[in-house]
Amino acid sequence: MEIICIGCPMGCSLKVEVNGEQILVEGNQCKRGETFARNEVKNPTRSLTTTVRTIFEEMPLLPVRTEVEIPKEKIFEAMEVLNKVLIKDKVNCGDIIVKDILGTGCNVIATSTINGDFFSPVSKGETSADQINRFEVTVRGIKCYE
Ligand code: SF4
């Protein structure tokens, strides 16, 4: 099989041949590529970086990530768990948002801070979806790095 190494931006194309217990890797430009290919065959894992919803209109989405990589096949299930999370209180960067997600032994942690003292909860009658849409519009409206 052929896979692209995600170990660095080079994105080497790796040719992987599995012959019983033997795994032959070609096309890697460093040892990390070989390790990546072997893990992809035996136990593929990925980090998950995403956001969870909050009740705060100033910050309707809180960035989060897995502390370590989790099995690749659990990524979509983990997203479903995180889609149900609603943050209602202050959060510090590094706080655990979901402990031991899906029994993987990996915590999902915040990668940003919410200081609830300065934030106001969602306006009456406004849904989280409204908040998220508005946030997305705001983000698209900002012209950064031009
Ligand atoms: S094999 Fe090495 S150089 Fe190539 S993409 Fe992977 S980490 Fe980068």
Quick check: CB of 11 below 6 Å from ligand 1?
yes
Which has more confidence, 92 or 138? 92
Q: 26-51 in b/e burial notation, b at 16+ Cβ within 10 A?
A: ebbeeeebbebbeebeeeebeebebb
- Report phi then psi at 53, rounded to 5: -75, 155
If DSSP codes are grouped into helix, strand and coil, which group holds residue 64? strand
Residue 105 CB–ligand 1 contact under 6 Å: no
Per-residue pLDDT of 39-86, as tens digits, reads 999 999 999 999 999 999 889 999 999 999 999 999 999 999 999 999
Smallest CA separation from ligand 1 atom 7, residue: 7
Q: Whose CA is closest to 64, among 14, 21, 107, 10?
A: 107
Query: Does the beta carbon of 5 lie inside 6 Å of ligand 1?
Result: yes
Write the pLDDT tens digit of every residue in 116-144: 665 665 554 555 455 444 444 333 333 33
Whether 7 lines ligand 1, by a CB cut-off of 6 Å, is yes
The structural domains of the chain, ordered by start, are: 2-42 (no CATH), 49-141 (3.10.530.10)
Which residue's CA is the nearest one to ligand 1's atom 2? 30
Band (146; pLDDT cuts 50, 70, 90) = very low
**pLDDT value at residue 122:** 56
Q: Can you give the pTM of this predicted structure?
A: 0.71
